[in-house]
Amino acid sequence: MATYAQPRPLVAAPRLPALRHLGPNWYATVMGTAIVANAGAGLPFAVPGLRPVLTGVWGLSAVLLGVLLLARAGHWAYHRDQAGAHLLDPAVAPFYGCLAMALLSVGGATVTVGGDVMGTGAALAAGTVLWSLGTAVGLAAAVAIPYLLVVRHRVEPGSASPVWLLAVVAPMVSAALGPQLVPHLPGGQWREAMLLGCYAMFGLSLLATLVMLPLIFGRLVHGGPLPLALTPTLFLVLGPLGQSVTAVNTLADVAPGAVGAPYADALGAFAVLYGVPVTGFALLWLVLAAAMVVRAARQGMPFAMTWWAFTFPVGTCVTGAAGLARHTGLDALGWLAAGLYAALVLAWAVAGVRTLRGVVSGALLAAPGAPRPGTARTR
C-alpha cells in the first residue's frame, strides 16, 4: 500500500521580520544626533552659519525619534517574545534608559534651536512634553532595570559592563535639561520645586553611578580588556560625568530666579567646585578609553551599534566644558569645548554613515552573533 507523507503544519511567518532584532540600543542614534544640536548651540562662542545647520540636525533627530518609536512599537506588537527576552538580558535591558534620553535630548534641542522653525511657544510646549515623558521613563528605568538586575538577571561574577550605566544616567539628563523650563514656571514655589527636583535627580544618578563605577573598573582590572566590539562602550562612562557637570552649571544659571541669594550664590560656587575636578576625571577616562579603542582597532574591531557610544557621552563633556567656561570666563575651557565638539561631529558622521550602510545592507538588522573576544593582556 502506498504511503503518503503527512503534510507539515503551516507556520505563519513572523510579521515585519526586519524588526525582530531592533533593540532599544537603536535610540542611541537619536541621542547621538540630538546632542550635536544641543552641544553646538551651547558653545561659548559664535560660529558663522552654524545655527541653520544645528536646526537641520535637530530636525533629523526628531524624525529619527518618530521612526524609531513606531518601529519599536512594531517590535513589541509582532515580536513580543524577543522584546521580553531583551528585558531579561542584562546586556540589553539597560538600553531602555536610551528611550528616556532620546526623548529628553530631542526635547532639549527643540527648546534650544527648534524655535527657529516652530516658534518659541510651540517649541517650549513640545520640549516640555518630551522632558516630562523622558523624565518619567528615565525614573522608571532607573528603578526597574536595577531591580531586574538583582532579582531576574543571571550575572556572572566579574561581568559588570559600562552598559549598566545607561539604566541610571537618564535622570541626570533630566537634571541638565530641566533648567530650560524653570524660567517659564510661576515664581516662588513652582520654580524652587523644579530646581530642587532637578538637584534630587542629579544626586540620584550621581550616587548610582558611583556605586557602579568600581564594579566596572574592577571588571577591567581583573578580567582584562572588553571584547573588541564592546570596547567603545567604555566611552559610556563619560555620560554621567559630563552630564553631571552640565547639570550643575545649567542649574546654577537659573538658581537666582528660583531660590534666595545665599543659596543661589552657593550653587554657583558649587558648579565650579564640582565641575572642574569631575571634568579632570572625565578627561582621564577619555584618554584611557581612547587608548583601549586604538588597541582594539589595531586588532580588527568591527563596526557595531556600540560605535554610537562615541557621540552622546562626548557631547555631554562638550556641554559640561561650555558651562564651566561660562561660569569661570576661562578661555581654555572654551577651547576644550570646541575641540571636543569637533571630535563629536567627526564621530557622529562616521557612526551615521556606517549605520546607514548597515541598514541598507541588512547587516545591522540581522540576528546578533557572539562578540569577538578580546585578546589576552600584553606585557
pLDDT for the residue numbered 372: 55
pLDDT for the residue numbered 3: 47
pLDDT for the residue numbered 196: 96
- Ordered structural domains, the chain, with CATH: 18-364 (1.50.10.150)
**Cβ within 8 Å of residue 205, ≥6 positions away:** 142, 168, 169, 170, 171, 172, 175, 240, 243, 244
pLDDT for the residue numbered 14: 59
pLDDT for the residue numbered 375: 52
**Cβ within 8 Å of residue 38, ≥6 positions away:** 105, 108, 109, 112, 315, 319
Burial of 290 from C-beta contacts in 10 A (0-12 / 13-18 / 19+)? middle
Encode the chain (379 residues) as per-residue pLDDT tens digits.
444 445 554 444 457 777 888 899 999 999 999 999 999 999 998 888 999 999 999 999 999 999 999 999 998 999 888 888 888 888 899 999 999 999 999 999 999 999 999 999 999 999 999 999 999 999 999 999 999 988 888 877 778 899 999 999 999 999 999 999 999 999 899 999 999 999 999 999 999 999 999 999 999 998 899 999 999 999 999 999 999 999 999 999 999 999 988 999 999 999 999 999 999 999 999 999 999 999 999 999 999 999 999 999 999 999 999 999 999 999 999 999 999 999 999 999 999 999 999 999 988 888 776 555 555 555 4
Radius of gyration of the CA atoms of the chain, in A: 22
51-85 burial string, b = 16+ CB within 10 Å, else e?
Answer: eeebbebbbbbbebbeebeeebebbeebbeebbee
What phi-psi label fits residue 5: left (phi over 0), alpha (psi between -120 and 50 degrees) or beta? Answer: beta
Count the neighbouring beta carbons within 10 Å of the beta carbon of residue 222: 9
